[in-house]
Chains A and B, each alone.
Chain A
Amino acid sequence: MAEVLVYVDHVDGAVRKPTLELLTLARRIGEPVAVHLGANAEDAAKILGEHGAVKVLAADAPEFAEYLVAPKVDALQAAYDAVSPAAVLLPSSAEGKEIAARLALRIGSGIITDAVDVEAGDEGPVATQSVFAASYTTKSRITKGTPVITVKPNSAAPEAAPAAGTVEQLAVTVADSSKGTKIVSRTPRESTGRPDLTEAAIVVSGGRGVNGADNFPVIEALADSLGAAVGASRAAVDAGWYPHTNQVGQTGKSVSPQLYIAAGISGAIQHRAGMQTSKTIVAINKDEEAPIFELVDYGVVGDLFDVVPALTDEVKTRKG
């Protein structure tokens, strides 16, 4: 059976959920071989094996942390040369897409980014994408070389599929030309204790209607009652009420959780582009004409400062 390379997104060996989703999708095309770059491959291998990785190609080099992106492309290319895979899957993060693009160019292959589904097809993997602010769904495939595909988080439910997950060391030579962009310093983001926005099953977002940074705890309280991530519209971020890393939309993060709750968000096209693929959409807004109501499964026309706290209390009561 053909092998499929899966690029592992992790923080010091703690594998992030989108990678497990990639393994699930990879099994539709062939045998997943994970590529783990950086420390603690043994820790990662355990969970990667549980999700179907027959093999974990591991490499650790100081250059991965010292320089931006390019050394990781060298490593993934080494893995590609070692395996000759049927496809290469990466997460659709900023870094994942950049690595994918450079790898595709090097190995003479086409690239598809932001797939929301991947299936086996007669002429190679077929990727589904959601385009034009999710108003269209396209099916695409790669016609030259080995398909390189990046996949959005929450595109598949990770399935357990025990496999060997044997760790093999991958020999990597980082080219001098890959040491062009120095990472002078790195400040890990402080954990809020909430789920990661792109990975969360539930997202609660606040917008212009939240009317100030001081009011965002109302949104956070609802999120915490549901075990959800907190998002913000561009208007709220531009006003300085919430960090840009939480921005949902065309220029922020694209999310597709099981449940998306928009509070005080009118639903401009740019915001819709980032959340329209959410499975269930709920909105709370004073303005009954707000375009967000065109998208909702359930909408409440009302003041979010009445509705959200009442909902939070009700969730807490029901959860006991």
Chain B
Amino acid sequence: MTEAQSEQVLRVDAYPTHEVGGYRVRAGKPFPFGANVVPGGVSFSVFSDQATSMSLVIYKRGEPEPMAELEFPEEFRTGSVFAMTVFGLDHENIEYGYRADGPFDPVTGHRFDARQVLSDPYARLIAGRDVWGVEPDRSRGYQYRSRVCLQDFDWGDDTPLGIPAEDLVVYEAHVRGFTRHPSSGVTAPGTFAGLREKIPYLKELGVNCIELLPVFEFDESDNPRSNPETGEQLFDYWGYNTVAFFAPKAGYAATGRYGMQGDEFRTLIKDLHAAGIEVILDVVFNHTAEGNEQGPTISFKGLDNATYYMLTPEGYYFNFSGTGNTVNCNHPVVRNYVLDCLRHWVADYHIDGFRFDLAAILGRSLDGTPLPNPPLLELLAYDPVLRHTKLIAEAWDAGGLYEVGNFPAYGRWAEWNGKYRDTVRSFLKGDPGITGELATRIAGSPDLYSSRGTSASVNFLTAHDGFTLADLVSYNDKHNEANGEGNNDGGNDNASWNCGAEGPTDDPEVNALRTRQMKNALAILFTSQGIPMLLSGDEVARTQQGNNNTYCQDNELSWFDWDQVDENAELLRFTREMIAFRKHHRELRSTAHPTGRMRDSLGLPDISWHGERAWQPDWSQESRLLAVARCGTGDDDVVYVAMNSHWESHDLELPALPGGRSWHLFADTGAEAPYDIRTPGAEQELDNAGKYLIGPRSVVILVGRTNDPETTGTP
């Protein structure tokens, strides 16, 4: 007898006790919520505080009309939870939903509508949008159908990687956009399986964490607009409109039409882990796809509107998300829902961390006022299952709450540092009066995170929301006409500069400057303390033709063009070497903010600031030149980064080095490729040890080390 056989035991609860609608049933277990395969059947459990009755609606897979509708007997209700085990169901070939009846009284928050079949908030799979972009049958009464899912994936010895936060190099990517372009050459473009085929590219680039735009089931076809110029249908491409929080998007899976998206996504994660790459999910708990009182009833609205949403005293939806509704995150029931959801992704999908969209909302009370000690954020910070996951907040919301530097962290939460983005962008443009703040930002923003350390700061210059790096240096203004909103959508405050011509140009000087500006941005990003985040495609100058809000553009504006890997090999090489350089120098990844105190072993401070003259930084309003030298605990070498956003070159006096060290050139963005950057450890010693001419709008990186690279640098 094998182990599997010996574990088969007869259970009392494997026998039905009742019959409902011709099906043999018994009272289910209230926990866990959702649909769970149990001996002989499937246990269904759903919460509704105010429902007067609840029915389980079962469909044969793909059929328009239900095959059964089973009302929960009163004795199957525990508290406000309806739970029932139904025997004899072929779990693979059914879809299900709930019909909840109760009061329709918006002033008291209740919007029950017994005409609607509702998705299970805990559904682990959804049917109805199985293949991306296929026009749905809108005549169907029940669009987003819950499905039963087995949770027996064979993970082997995979576990979350636990890379220290300070060592992360995050790559923000869109599952579909990464391989949908015809040039991707993968077997299944635009899918989890396609992304899996590109793991070698990510590994070679050197990133060790991929942050995926939303992968929870959403409906890409819920955008009614079309491109005013071409007439083409516009989509909800980014997917920040969640339909089902526990379900991976079927349309992102090559096997979604077979309902195997869960396994396909897990396989991607497993292989990313095997390549040393963590997976962070961009999660959207601030609102749902149900919109305001005009929006569709999909799940929460019909099950327990007053619990799940923040409502005004008149029963309208608060709109701190800018999208119609706001999830009632600090309601005790909703807190547990969010916790259950994240635990599910960690335990059942081995996810390494989460980036929370508009996370300031997670700190609002039931009436919308910001809480000093938000219970949800504390709960997530201390939860045993989430204990070692990364928690990253987008620490603002559309209701005007801006908490960068003040997000309730509980020693755990990091933040997208919007101030880092704005400062470095402004410096790159050549704005005056920036050097002082630039110093603060590249040192890990001690003004914001003094008690939390540098890894509380996720440093980024570009993200999905805004210009790409190539567009940041090619456009002064956004060009969002293709979105069909009269160019009124997207941010206006971009701190971008087109380098002398708006958009594409044949002018070689402008193009050379743009390339240099991109390298400057990357050089600053990867030598700053804090966690660097790179937007997918920035390493090959991906353009969105000036569109800074491509949320609806499922086309070449958004997709990663793999031909650019060859066309922009120079920038790609620069990015790879910069990432490698960061890994090579622990002082760039120090968790402690530098203090300027002297390091005994080298006779240099952990950080020192310089200008044209060594030890004499110029903090004046007109200064556009700043140099920083770092040496940190455990390393014997010194890293010197000079940043010049002035349109003129400057002679730099280099600080003297102790202990037989000399300055070696790692990167000079003013130099022609391939002399713009070296491989870490193979830097070239300077002929003139005391001086270096930095070109206009350039960044120079030097390493102070002995001539034996083997003895210096600590990976």
A and B bind: no
Name A's B-contacting residues (CB within 8 A): none
Contacts from B to A (Cβ < 8 Å): none
